[in-house]
Amino acid sequence: MRSTDIRSTFLDFFTARDHKIAPSSPLIPDDPTLLLTAAGMNQFKPYYLGESVPPHRRMTSVQKCVRTSDIENVGRTTRHATFFEMLGNFSFGDYFKGEVIAWSWELLTDHFGLDPDRLWVTVFRDDDEAERLWRRIGVPGERVQRLGMADNYWSMGVPGPCGPSSELHYDRGPSFGKREGPGGGGPAVDGERYQEIWNLVFMHKRRGEGDGKDGFPILGELPTRNIDTGLGMDRLAAILQDVDTVCETDLLAPTFRLVQELAEREYPGRDGSEESMSFRVVAEHARSTAFLIADGVLPHGDGRGFVLRRLMRRAVRHARLLGVEGPVLPALTASVVDNLGTAWPELERRRDHIRKVVEAEEDGFDRTLRLGSRFLDTAIDKARSNGTSQLNGRTVFDLHNSYGFPADLTLDAARSAGLSVDEEGFGLLLEEHARRAKDAERDRKGDAVARQDTYRRIVAEHGLTDFIGYEATEGEGRILALLKGPDLVERAVEGDEVELVLDRSPFYAEAGGQVGDTGTLRTPGGGALQVVDTRPGLTGLHVHTARVTSGEVRTGEPTEVTVDADRRAATARSHSATHVLHAMLRSVLGEHATQQGSRVEPGRLRFDFSHFSSVEPGALQTVQSLVNDYLMDDPDVRVWEASRAEAEVAGAVALFGEKYGEHVRIVDIGDASRELCGGTHVGHGSQAGPVHLVGESSIGVGLRRIEALTGADALRHYDHQQTVLNELATLLEVRPDETPGALRRRLDVLAETQRELTRLRRADQAAIGERLTSRSKRAGSGWLIAEQVDGVPPEDLRSLALTLTHREGPGVVVLGTASEGKATLVAAITRDLADTGLQARTLLANAGKAVGGGAGGRGPVAHAGGRNPSGLPNALSIASNEARSALTTPTP
């Protein structure tokens, strides 16, 4: 059965049972606690927690997922992958264990045709009900195994919904492992032979903070009993298509064959060799790379960008081990797009973008390898010269952490050089680095998690905020909650910094790049607050950060609410300008120049977009002109709502990384821009301008940033530029429009004058040099020039001294000058003296003290200085004596 049939069979089965299909969410999750989407239930987390009402109580999906927790197993086993499609069905307070167990068995045996006698089941150790249900539908007791939390209790790895699970496993036969162990083997003994294919999670608990799969507390019950399941597409396809590994299914086979073509050798099969592992790693990571980039992830030094970079570099590294020297990722990711672009259209839409990202990153990694190799060669040479037979762990760690140099490459190179590696030391450093990073992340998240719990309690008691800000900037509300830190309080007094939640509010909460509103609140009892920010605590819950400026405020009080209308209007101008800027960038640079992030503020905006080179000044000016010309035509700004499907048919642009529900808000600005957007906007295009682009820069591989001013801020910038231009014109005594030409002529004259001054200075130095040379004296086995030279700038003293050393025989030059209350000394020695080991600095060590300072420098040139110019003659005398001594008895 092909993968397309597997998807349709699964979805058809559950839609026939009243499930509504949910589209896959992006790999960039709308959840600050998650780095990447790693499970089908991630997008449904608010429904499980009771924070939002699901559009339907039964859902099903095919979800894109990326997990790297088992990355070292990729290629080593037949089943592990970093990217995979998760087939899932979900119940929000509807059906529970009995239905999902019966349906999963029916689907696997009747519709996918799996042999019932090869299916095994695991349940949580205390789940008597699940075991009873399995045995009721005919699973023999010897094929039902009970396991602990690490295996059969599922969570997202962070505080949130969780619950005991039951997993279905398929016996792939003796070629995948031996049938031995307690109870005849089974998944409790061998996960490679008895492969997990479907996990049924009975989601009705909530977990707290903790480590690992079982190191966390269970805090209590969720509002309802729910179901979350995940059936691994790759693993099921491998079974149904009768192939050994996930790389040989139709999901990856074309890419897997291409790896063999590039390596110019056949895959050796599942023989356990490092070579066979490399073939699978390259193909599997190429797929993950394509999907991550298509969903807006770019390679970076931390976060999800680091995950992508690690996958790409592992793929390139294993390709090099297979003997592939040229670029590999452009061709491999293109094959992923060719193979899966129909099922996942975002791959096809972003084909060119994917190619450019992988080309740039692979080229950069090749440079990293060259740089790291030089560092490694130096470390190996140093170890040999020190007589040690081991490369220390710090070297391996620095290469890995600072250069991105693969540790296994360092190990290979060291062994080839006959050195061992302190792998234990490297491991300890790596562990300590990971611990510090984890501790920092835990500290960062600790307060946020506590606040989230408080917000959930508020929503459970009062519901979500009634946002009235699209229609008004003033209104009346009631204070539902006051928070100091994560704690609820009943009152706050003048000077207190608090967070507050209202039942209804006109304050826009920061989202979609638009900053939150500010303003004031007043209560009937004389309490007043200054709102300095508004942000979403949870989706749909507006949290106002405020300072009590007078009186006292209490929970439950009514309040008059006023948004800073001028600031809101200025922000709206920037937001509308951002939409038009996005449209015009794509029209000038190409459709690949899509938004990757933004910051919309009063009077200014920051816009990040995909592009692989700097935008030429001419193109940037064209974009600015197009934006302003379009806004001056005063296009209508229309805001309308529709279903997500209707918006997609209408061509509305959805931004990667943003979460949209089934019902969406669309903003049209004339016929140039149509985007899904929840922000505030102007009523007509002319209200957004003018727009002035003040800068364009790189912020990462394939990622550019434009900064701009809008409205009054843009006009003030123009005024400032005009003032500067007028001042320059006055100084140059020309009209403003003549300033560039006049300034260019003045600069040409200045450059010519500077060249003439340089020529005269060199001529003067040559004359001084001839005079000093004529006054040189014999000293020991060489010659000595020691003179005070007045009128020579201190900065020229060094070059003059060096010029004088270009003569026959060993010699020393010591020159001194006084200027602006300071004494400067320079000593220079000839090359033959320097070759004996003499340091010019030793000649000035005592001389520097004579002028109230010290000496510095290394090798054949040194300098000294101090604030006692009267001591200069004595200093020259001291330095002369040191030089004579050195010339009489050269340093060995």
Tens of pLDDT, residue by residue over 265-305, are 999 988 888 899 999 999 999 999 999 999 988 888 778 88
Per-residue pLDDT tens for 584-609? 999 999 888 888 889 999 999 999 99
696 pairs with which residues across the strands? 706
Q: What pLDDT, on the 0 to 100 scale, is given for residue 188?
A: 87
Q: What pLDDT, on the 0 to 100 scale, is given for residue 579?
A: 97
Q: What are phi and psi of 113, to 5 degrees?
A: 75, 25
Per-residue pLDDT tens for 868-889? 999 999 999 999 999 998 888 6
Do 51 and 81 contact (CB within 8 A), yes or no?
A: no
**Helix and strand counts by DSSP (H, E) for the chain:** 24, 35
Per-residue pLDDT tens for 667-679? 999 999 999 999 9
552 pLDDT exceeds 90? yes
Per-residue pLDDT tens for 456-488? 889 988 999 999 999 999 999 999 999 998 899
d(CA 827, CA 878): 12
For the chain, percent helix, then strand, then coil, each to nearest 5? 45, 25, 30
The CA distances from residue 764 to 144, 787, 806, in Å, are: 98, 16, 18
Which pair of structure tokens corresponds to residue 799?
């070059």
d(CA 284, CA 280): 6
| Secondary structure string (H, E, C) spanning 750-804 | HHHHHHHHHHHHHHHHHHHHHHHHHCCEEECCEEEEEEECCCCCHHHHHHHHHHH
Neighbours of 506 (CB within 10 A): 25
Q: What pLDDT, on the 0 to 100 scale, is given for residue 647?
A: 84
417 pLDDT exceeds 50? yes
d(CA 437, CA 426): 17
Q: What percent of the chain has pLDDT over 90?
A: 62
Which pair of structure tokens corresponds to residue 577?
């300008």
Neighbours of 686 (CB within 10 A): 14
| Listed range (126-130, 208-212, 686-690, 809-813) with the worst mean pLDDT | 208-212
Q: What pLDDT, on the 0 to 100 scale, is given for residue 440?
A: 60
890 preceded by a cis bond (ω within 30 of 0): no
Q: Is 681 annotated as a binding residue?
A: yes
623 pLDDT exceeds 90? yes
Q: What is the average per-residue pLDDT within 405-416? A: 71
pTM of the model: 0.67
What CATH number does domain 3-249 carry, 3.30.1490.100, 3.30.930.10, 2.40.30.10, 3.40.50.10420? 3.30.930.10
Per-residue pLDDT tens for 128-139? 999 999 999 999
d(CA 163, CA 207): 9
3-class secondary structure, 662: coil
Q: Is 169 annotated as a binding residue?
A: no
Per-residue pLDDT tens for 158-204? 888 999 999 999 999 888 887 665 556 789 888 889 999 999 999 99
Instruction: Choose among 297, 366, 286, 299: nearest CA to 334.
Output: 286
Q: What pLDDT, on the 0 to 100 scale, is given for residue 261?
A: 95
Domain 455-563 has CATH 2.40.30.130: yes
92 pLDDT exceeds 70? yes
Domain 568-719 has CATH 1.20.1250.20: no
446 pLDDT exceeds 60? no
Per-residue pLDDT tens for 806-835? 888 899 999 999 988 899 999 999 988 888
Q: Is 579 annotated as a binding residue?
A: yes
Q: Are strands 83-92 and 58-66 parallel, antiparallel or unpaired?
A: antiparallel
Question: Helices (DSSP H) in 818-862: which residue ranges?
Answer: 831-835, 840-850
320 pLDDT exceeds 70? yes
14-26: burial string, b at 16+ Cβ within 10 Å, e else:
beeeebbebebbb
Per-residue pLDDT tens for 256-265? 999 999 999 9
Per-residue pLDDT tens for 507-532? 999 998 999 999 999 999 999 999 99
Q: What is the average per-residue pLDDT within 670-692? A: 94
CATH architecture of the domain with residue range 775-888: Roll (3.10)
| Listed range (250-254, 339-343, 456-460) with the worst mean pLDDT | 456-460
Q: What pLDDT, on the 0 to 100 scale, is given for residue 891?
A: 46
The CA distances from residue 438 to 254, 434, 725, in Å, are: 39, 6, 53
Q: What pLDDT, on the 0 to 100 scale, is given for residue 584?
A: 97
Q: What pLDDT, on the 0 to 100 scale, is given for residue 403?
A: 67
Give the largest Cα separation in the chain, rounded. Answer: 113
The overall average pLDDT reported for the chain is 90
Residues 6 or more apart whose Cβ sits within 8 Å of residue 891? 836, 837, 838
Instruction: Choose among 315, 276, 321, 319: nearest CA to 292.
Output: 315
- Strands in 637-643's sheet, in edge-to-edge order, are 637-643, 663-669, 673-676
Q: What pLDDT, on the 0 to 100 scale, is given for residue 18?
A: 96
565 pLDDT exceeds 80? yes
3-class secondary structure, 137: coil
Do 664 and 642 contact (CB within 8 A), yes or no?
A: yes
d(CA 501, CA 519): 14
d(CA 531, CA 780): 83
The full set of domain ranges for the chain reads 3-249, 256-374, 455-563, 568-719, 775-888
Q: Is 462 annotated as a binding residue?
A: no
